[in-house]
Each structure stands twice: as structure tokens, then as C-alpha cells.
């Protein structure tokens, strides 16, 4: 895990549905917001920690005259060590029991103090800043784990090992060709069993997860480079322009060209 940004804000602005190629933790210090997460509207207030993966577009409306919060952006690169993967699983996996909003009560002062430390550390950028931020993030995720362990992947077995390997492969080599039959053959299991265990851990079907990785890469290139649509299609593993445009519009709600114009 790696903290990419840690910031405090007290402006009253909300924001429209948006994208960034990072996981996000949003901690509400005061005020109340209405957040739309993948089409679901929820309210959150003081003491709420909101968890968004890199695949989840979300928007915020501010409902009160005051809105103070801390925001962390965390690298999407998967943690490989067992303990780190356990903690980072809350950022990347979305099982049926997952809840994006976790409300703290007695721990509010501690979390606010920890978030403040992280924001100050990030602003200073002193030597070993990254190591310090990562240690603070670990403390925060451990606290979250102690409060809501059901949101984390705690059942380590052969099935979860397979899923972890595939997630890492999709994240790194999303531009390659994958087929469900080839993946199932590799692990000596049926296609239906592979689909079942992958979705039970991540909340996504294997090909859906792969497509989300490709779309994230495409969004990043559209917003941060001047590469042509054809170049982006080739770099991200889409079969052709028609497939890319159709998939992009279905998932994002606009064409790649429209997305590029607003980012």
C-alpha cells in the first residue's frame, strides 16, 4: 500500500460523479453529506469513514452549512504480503456484505488526530515520508478491521490464493488476452467454480474485474495523455474501437471522447 495524497478540506463544495486511478478514504469530521456510490444514494455525517475503490465512481452533495473532512488517496497496486493483503482487501474487494460507510463513535478523536498527522506529514514531504504515511495508514486500517472485520478477506485458503493471483495478473497485465477457459485450465478447476470463487471474494466476475482494470487504464490515458483513441485501445487490451466505445459508454455513461473533454 502507498499513500498518494492526504489532505484536509473545509470548503462547502460537493462534486459530481468523478474518477481517479486510486482508492479513496474520506473521513467526515463535521457536517452531513449525501453520497452517490455506483447509483446508490447514502447519507453520512461526523465520524463516518467512506471507502471507495478505484473502480467506484461517486458524487457528493453537501447537506449542511459546514463540511470538514480528510481525504486519502491510496495506490491501486495490490499488496502481496499476507498481512498487507488482508488490510488492503477492504479497498479492493466488494462482497455482498460490504458497506461503504463505517461510522465511528468513541474512536472519532483518535481517527481525526491520525488523519491530521497524515495530512501534515504529506504536506511536509520530509525524508522517509512515504514510510511514515504507510505506517499511519496501517494503523487506520487495523482500527477499521477491529471494528468491522467482516469487510475484510479473513478466510485464507487455496481459493483465495487463486483469486489473489488473478487479481494481481489483471492489474499488471490487463492489456493481455484472457479467457475464462484458459484461466480455469491453469488452476485445474471448472469455469463455473472459478467464476464463483472469484465473485465471492471480490464481488466481480473475473472478466468484469479485468474489464474494470482496462477501463481504469483507459480513463487514465484519456485524462493524462494526448494518445489517440486507437493507441489507447491497443494499450489497454480492447479488441476494437466499437467494443471499446460501447463498453466505455455502458460503464461510464459517456463516450471516451466526451470523457476526455471534461477531464
> Residue 49 has what pLDDT?
97
Which of 151, 182, 200 finishes a domain? 151
The C-alpha cell at 68 is 470538514
> Residue 25 has what pLDDT?
96
Please give the radius of gyration of the chain, using alpha carbons only, rounded to the nearest integer: 19
Does 138 lie in the same domain as 25?
Answer: yes
> Residue 252 has what pLDDT?
86
> Residue 85 has what pLDDT?
82
Sheet with 58-62: list strands edge to edge: 15-18, 58-62, 32-37, 40-45
Which of 125, 151, 177 finishes a domain? 151
The maximal CA–CA distance of the chain, rounded, in angstroms, is 58
What secondary structure letter does DSSP report for 151? G
The confidence band for 91, taking pLDDT boundaries of 50, 70 and 90, is: very high
Q: How many domains in the chain?
A: 2
Q: Residue 129 CB: number of other CB atoms within 10 A?
A: 14
Residue 81 pLDDT more than 70? no
> Residue 79 has what pLDDT?
59
Give me the mean pLDDT over the 250-257 stretch: 89
In CATH, what number is assigned to the domain containing residue 182? 1.10.10.60
Is residue 66 a contact partner of residue 31, using CB atoms and an 8 Å limit? yes
Give me the mean pLDDT over the 236-261 stretch: 90
Q: What domain range includes position 184?
A: 158-262
Does 172 lie in the same domain as 146?
Answer: no
DSSP state string for 8-23: EE-----EEEE--SSE
Is residue 139 a contact partner of residue 114, using CB atoms and an 8 Å limit? yes
Strand partners, 174: none
Give me the mean pLDDT over the 44-67 stretch: 94
Residue 206 pLDDT more than 60? yes
The confidence band for 128, taking pLDDT boundaries of 50, 70 and 90, is: very high
Picking from 46, 59, 57, 66, the residue whose alpha carbon sits closest to that of residue 115 is 46
Residue 117 pLDDT more than 80? yes
The confidence band for 83, taking pLDDT boundaries of 50, 70 and 90, is: low
For residue range 208-242, what is the model confidence (pLDDT) as tens digits? 999 999 999 999 999 889 999 999 999 999 988 99
Does 41 lie in the same domain as 167?
Answer: no
The C-alpha cell at 101 is 460507510
Which of 151, 178, 203 finishes a domain? 151
The confidence band for 60, taking pLDDT boundaries of 50, 70 and 90, is: very high
CA angle 194, 198, 201 (to 5 degrees): 145
In CATH, what number is assigned to the domain containing residue 8? 2.60.120.280
> Residue 156 has what pLDDT?
75
The confidence band for 82, taking pLDDT boundaries of 50, 70 and 90, is: low
Indicate the pTM of the whole model: 0.90
Does 163 lie in the same domain as 143?
Answer: no
Is the pLDDT higher at 234 or at 76?
Answer: 234
Does 76 lie in the same domain as 25?
Answer: yes
Question: Which residues, other chains included, contact 207 with Cβ-Cβ below 8 Å and sequence gap of 6+?
Answer: 178, 180
> Residue 225 has what pLDDT?
92
CA–CA distance, 127 with 59 (Å, rounded to integer): 35
> Residue 38 has what pLDDT?
80
Does 49 lie in the same domain as 25?
Answer: yes
Mean pLDDT computed over every residue of the chain = 91
> Residue 80 has what pLDDT?
57
> Residue 261 has what pLDDT?
86
Amino acid at each position: 500500500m502507498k499513500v498518494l495524497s492526504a489532505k484536509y478540506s473545509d470548503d462547502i463544495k460537493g462534486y459530481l460523479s468523478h474518477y481517479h486511478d486510486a482508492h479513496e478514504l474520506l473521513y467526515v469530521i463535521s457536517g452531513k453529506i449525501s453520497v452517490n456510490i455506483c447509483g446508490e444514494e447514502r447519507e453520512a455525517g461526523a465520524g463516518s469513514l467512506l471507502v471507495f475503490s478505484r473502480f467506484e465512481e461517486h458524487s457528493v452533495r453537501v447537506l449542511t452549512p459546514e463540511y470538514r473532512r480528510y481525504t486519502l488517496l491510496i495506490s491501486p497496486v495490490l499488496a502481496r504480503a499476507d498481512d498487507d493483503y488482508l488490510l488492503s482487501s477492504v479497498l479492493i474487494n466488494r462482497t455482498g456484505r460490504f458497506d461503504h460507510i463505517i461510522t465511528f463513535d468513541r474512536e472519532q478523536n483518535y481517527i481525526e488526530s491520525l488523519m491530521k498527522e497524515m495530512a501534515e506529514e504529506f504536506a511536509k514531504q520530509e525524508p522517509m515520508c512515504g514510510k511514515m504515511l504507510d505506517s499511519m495508514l496501517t494503523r487506520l486500517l487495523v482500527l477499521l478491521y477491529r471494528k468491522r472485520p467482516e469487510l475484510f478477506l479473513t478466510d485464507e485458503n487455496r481459493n483465495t490464493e487463486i483469486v489473489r493471483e488473478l487479481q494481481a495478473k489483471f492489474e499488471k497485465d490487463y492489456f493481455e488476452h484472457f479467457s475464462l477457459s484458459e484461466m480455469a485450465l491453469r488452476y485445474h478447476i471448472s469455469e463455473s467454480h472459478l467464476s464463483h470463487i472469484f465473485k465471492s471474494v471480490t464481488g466481480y466476475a473475473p472478466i468484469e474485474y479485468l474489464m474494470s482494470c482496462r477501463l481504469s487504464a483507459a480513463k487514465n490515458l484519456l485524462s493524462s495523455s494526448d494518445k489517440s483513441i486507437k493507441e489507447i485501445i491497443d494499450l489497454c487490451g480492447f479488441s476494437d474501437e466499437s467494443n471499446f466505445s460501447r463498453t466505455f459508454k455502458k460503464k461510464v455513461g459517456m463516450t471516451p471522447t466526451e470523457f476526455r473533454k471534461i477531464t
